[in-house]
């Protein structure tokens, strides 16, 4: 009689682990897979999309091979390199919280030695800034605006995660810092590559980042137990699960509609209407999943509702380009 075969991790669990998603308790020994898991590829997508939105809002992007390659290089900088740097640094400084919330993560589990995590942080940071310099030189920037954005974003990421400031300890400030990093910073980089970054674009995208604040709150639900234990004032800890979920959903919807209202004032009624139409299914999924059980349905909610947010961002970028903002 043969001995029972131990349960093997499913392909879904392995995929979740590689993407850096919650709930992927899979033993992994490959150092390269651990490095990728630390970089959380699932988090690269909004930053890479932000570059596309910025290129659209410039009104100057054309579908030529050099422009496409330049965009892809900027997406590499914003996503795998600098977002990867941010995610590993966050895991490094959050290793005590992760030991409570996600003890299977590479650092708290001991699978990734701290000295190797630190080395990877530096490699990604230096590579990201180097790519920013190449982008500035390639498009002829004398003010090195892309490099300044890369350095500024890297510094914001540091003070978000690291003491003594550790912005994430403050629910409102930390969530907005995260939201603006995911929307405004890559948008500015994409816009500056093909056009001239101006204060109207800066303020509009900072306003849009208040919707990103709502998205950042969603990420806090998976850490509420550890945050509460260690005294971190995330919004779910401050207001409770149900109220924080309502705040999150309201922020996302209200500020998207606010952008639509602005676009009407600059003559972009059609595209503004499209943004409003995209908010409708988003509200539906908020009611179906998130507001009913944010702890259980956070991943399902993000998968179903957030595509409408990111499509709305692209529509807004196109409208801004058409309006010559």
DSSP code per residue over 242-308 = HHHHHHHHHHHHHHHHHHHHHHHHTT-HHHHHHHHHHHHHHHHHIIIIITT-HHHHHHHHHHHHHHH
Q: Would you say residue 293 lies in a domain? A: yes
Q: Would you say residue 318 lies in a domain? A: yes
Q: Would you say residue 25 lies in a domain? A: no
Q: What is the pLDDT of residues 117-139, one digit of tens each?
A: 999 999 999 999 999 999 999 99
Q: Looking at residue 48, what is its pLDDT? A: 96
User: What average pLDDT does the segment 55-82 reach?
Assistant: 97
Give the residue among 37, 11, 44, 169 at the shortest CA–CA distance from 104.
37
pLDDT-derived band of residue 300, with 50, 70 and 90 as boundaries?
A: confident
Dihedral of the alpha carbons of 73, 75, 76, 80, in degrees to the nearest 10: 180
Measured in whole angstroms, the distance separating CA 192 from the mean position of its chain's CA atoms is 20
Give the residue among 40, 5, 28, 29 at the shortest CA–CA distance from 219.
40
Helix, strand, coil shares of the chain, percent, nearest 5, are: 80, 0, 20
pLDDT-derived band of residue 20, with 50, 70 and 90 as boundaries?
A: low
Q: Would you say residue 171 lies in a domain? A: yes
Helix, strand, or coil here: 233? strand
Give percent of the chain above pLDDT 90: 71
Q: Looking at residue 21, what is its pLDDT? A: 56
Distance CA 115, CA 130 (A): 23
Q: Would you say residue 235 lies in a domain? A: yes
Distance CA 162, CA 244 (A): 24
DSSP secondary structure string, 91-138? HHHTHHHHHHH-TTSTTTTTSS-HHHHHHHHHHHHHHHHHHHHHHHHH
Lowest mean pLDDT among 19-23, 32-36, 114-118, 247-251: 19-23
User: What average pLDDT does the segment 157-173 reach?
Assistant: 91
pTM listed for this prediction? 0.90
Q: Would you say residue 13 lies in a domain? A: no
Distance CA 302, CA 305 (A): 5
Give the residue among 105, 229, 220, 230 at the shortest CA–CA distance from 163.
230
- CATH code of the domain in which 169 resides: 1.10.600
Expressed as residue numbers, the domain containing 181 is: 41-323
User: What average pLDDT does the segment 9-33 reach?
Assistant: 62
Residue 25 clears pLDDT 90, i.e. is over it: no
Phi and psi, residue 162, nearest 5°: -100, 145
User: What average pLDDT does the segment 148-160 reach?
Assistant: 97
User: What average pLDDT does the segment 280-298 reach?
Assistant: 91
Residue 197 clears pLDDT 80, i.e. is over it: yes
Mean per-residue pLDDT of the chain = 90
Which residues does residue 233 pair with via DSSP β-bridges, in sequence order? 170
Name residue, tokens 């970054």.
Answer: 197
pLDDT-derived band of residue 8, with 50, 70 and 90 as boundaries?
A: very low
Instruction: Count how many Cα atoms sit within 13 Å of the Cα of residue 265 in the half-sphere of its side chain.
Output: 7
Distance CA 300, CA 303 (A): 5
Distance CA 263, CA 13 (A): 42
pLDDT-derived band of residue 15, with 50, 70 and 90 as boundaries?
A: low
- Give CA angle at 187 (183, 191), nearest 5°: 170
Q: Would you say residue 224 lies in a domain? A: yes
User: What average pLDDT does the segment 189-197 reach?
Assistant: 97
Residue 63 clears pLDDT 80, i.e. is over it: yes
The domain tally of the chain equals: 1
User: What average pLDDT does the segment 56-83 reach?
Assistant: 97
Q: Would you say residue 31 lies in a domain? A: no
More confident residue, 61 or 222: 61
Q: What is the crossing angle of helices 82-93 and 31-39, to 10°? A: 100
pLDDT-derived band of residue 100, with 50, 70 and 90 as boundaries?
A: confident
Write out the two tokens for 287: 């009611």
């Amino acid at each position: 009689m043969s001995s029972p075969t131990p349960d093997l991790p499913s392909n879904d669990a392995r995929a979740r682990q590689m993407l850096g998603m919650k709930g992927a308790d899979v033993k992994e020994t490959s150092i390269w897979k651990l490095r990728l898991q630390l970089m959380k590829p699932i988090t690269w997508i909004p930053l890479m999309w932000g570059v596309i939105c910025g290129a659209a809002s410039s009104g100057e992007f054309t579908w030529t091979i050099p422009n496409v390659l330049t965009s892809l290089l900027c997406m590499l900088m914003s996503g795998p390199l600098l977002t990867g740097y941010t995610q590993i640094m966050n895991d490094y400084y959050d290793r005590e919280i992760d030991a409570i919330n996600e003890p299977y993560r590479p650092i708290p589990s001991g699978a990734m030695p701290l000295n190797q995590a630190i080395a990877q942080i530096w490699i990604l940071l230096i590579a990201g800034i180097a790519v920013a310099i190449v982008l500035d030189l390639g498009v002829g920037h004398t003010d090195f605006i892309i490099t300044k954005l890369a350095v500024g974003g890297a510094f914001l990421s540091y003070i978000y995660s690291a003491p003594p400031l550790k912005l994430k300890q403050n629910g409102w400030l930390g969530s907005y810092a995260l939201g603006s990093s995911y929307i405004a910073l890559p948008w500015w980089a994409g816009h500056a590559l093909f056009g001239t970054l101006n204060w109207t674009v800066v303020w509009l995208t900072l306003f849009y980042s208040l919707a990103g604040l709502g998205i950042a709150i969603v990420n806090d639900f998976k850490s509420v137990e550890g945050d509460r234990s260690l005294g971190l004032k995330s919004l779910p800890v401050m207001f409770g699960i149900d109220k924080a979920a309502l705040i999150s959903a309201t922020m996302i919807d209200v500020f998207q509609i606010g952008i639509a209202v602005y676009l009407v004032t600059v003559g972009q009624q059609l595209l503004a209407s499209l943004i409003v139409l995209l908010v409708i299914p988003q509200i539906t999924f908020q009611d179906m999943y998130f507001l009913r059980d944010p702890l259980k349905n956070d991943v399902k909610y993000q998968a179903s509702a957030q595509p409408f947010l990111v499509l709305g961002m692209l529509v807004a970028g196109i409208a801004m380009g058409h309006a010559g903002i």
